[in-house]
């Protein structure tokens, strides 16, 4: 028996509705599926969306996952994952020029400014503008595995703070008094990048690793220990990087057919690629076999990249001279 026309019409609407619902639910986003359009892409932060300055000297992620940024004239910017919070001289900073940031074992944030050190403790800002009678300009900070805070200065040498207070490292050459960067290796040696080579402290004494030991150039800008335990040294004489395995020295060429300028920082990603930031030549990515240059036409906002860090999610944060922060989303 044939169905009446109105019933056939209603069934047609029903089938159409079911078909549309199937399409709708099949297109609903699964939160566990990675959107490929958001991977291997860039995100940007600048004065248009949260930063107080586009010139970035330092980037540090704290134990809670917040990203802290030191700027040239805008003080400190902190990103909590959803919004930016700013700290300036009006909040107690000694200066709006912030060279270095680190966090100690107690959770206190340390800021190295052009006028001294600031400490952020329970949202209260404190300051240290002198150590003893000596005014200091801290340009590098590092909290080591023994809970010591190392302070590298611009011409005043190295200070160290522990439970007994401040200590001063007596260095015999003025070239060692400029401390560009501080880090620690897996053997708990603390390394210092200086104008006169690399220094390292083994817990007892300071030793020197310089051109007489095979270092490419004594003006060391940055030191990185990679996941294999090799230590890399960069400099403003950037034709070669120095890689040291504890016994042998190897010079690694940055040249890949494009001009290269001084290397300002290095960071290794979760896939063991090493990224070198440069002054004017963008970023150079090394996969262990070849160098790949990344510049403005590849997604950067500025070819002058001053600093870098890897966050807990594996994303790479790059601070630039004029282009704010460029974040490379890796996964």
Sequence-distant (≥ 6) Cβ neighbours of residue 263 within 8 angstroms = 221, 222, 234, 235, 236, 238, 241, 254, 276, 277, 278
Res 64: pLDDT: 97
Res 97: pLDDT: 98
pTM score of the predicted model? 0.87
Q: How is residue 64 written in tokens?
A: 């809670």
Main-chain phi, psi angles of 82, to 5 degrees: -130, -30
How many CA within 13 A on the CB side of residue 331? Answer: 9
Res 21: pLDDT: 41
Query: What's the CA gap between 126 and 102, in Å, rounded?
Result: 15
**Parallel/antiparallel/unpaired status of strands 305-310 and 291-294:** unpaired
Distances 36 to 30, 39, 329, 330 between C-alpha atoms, Å: 13, 5, 11, 10
Q: How is residue 123 written in tokens?
A: 């949202």
Could you say which residues of the chain have pLDDT below 70? 1-39, 238, 256-259
Query: What's the CA gap between 112 and 324, in Å, rounded?
Result: 19
């Amino acid at each position: 028996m044939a169905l009446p026309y109105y019933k056939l019409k209603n069934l047609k609407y029903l089938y159409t509705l079911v078909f549309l619902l199937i399409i709708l639910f099949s297109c609903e986003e699964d939160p566990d599926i990675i959107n490929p359009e958001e991977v291997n892409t860039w995100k940007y932060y600048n004065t248009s969306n949260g930063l107080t300055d586009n010139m970035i000297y330092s980037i540090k992620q704290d134990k809670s996952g917040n990203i802290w940024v030191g700027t040239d004239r805008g003080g400190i910017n902190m990103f909590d994952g959803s919004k930016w919070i700013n700290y300036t001289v009006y909040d107690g900073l000694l200066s709006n020029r912030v060279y270095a940031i680190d966090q100690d074992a107690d959770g206190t944030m340390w800021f190295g400014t052009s006028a001294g050190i600031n400490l952020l403790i329970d949202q209260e800002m404190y300051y240290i503008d002198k150590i003893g009678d000596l005014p200091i300009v801290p340009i590098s900070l590092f909290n080591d595995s023994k809970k010591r805070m190392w302070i590298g200065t611009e011409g005043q040498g190295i200070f160290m703070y522990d439970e007994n207070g401040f200590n001063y490292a007596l260095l015999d050459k003025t070239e060692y008094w400029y401390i560009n960067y501080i880090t620690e290796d897996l053997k708990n040696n603390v390394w210092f990048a200086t104008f006169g080579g690399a220094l390292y402290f083994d817990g007892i004494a300071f030793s020197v690793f310089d051109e007489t030991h095979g270092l490419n150039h004594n003006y060391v800008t940055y030191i990185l220990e990679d996941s294999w335990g090799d230590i890399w040294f960069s400099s403003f004489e950037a034709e070669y990087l120095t890689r040291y395995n504890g016994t042998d020295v190897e010079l690694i060429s940055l040249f890949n057919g494009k001009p290269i300028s001084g290397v300002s920082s290095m960071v290794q990603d979760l896939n063991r690629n090493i990224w070198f930031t440069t002054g004017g030549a963008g970023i150079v990515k090394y996969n262990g076999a070849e160098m790949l240059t990344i510049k403005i036409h590849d997604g950067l906002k500025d070819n002058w990249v001053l600093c870098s860090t890897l966050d807990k999610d594996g994303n790479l944060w790059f601070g630039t001279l004029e282009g704010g922060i460029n974040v490379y989303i890796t996964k």
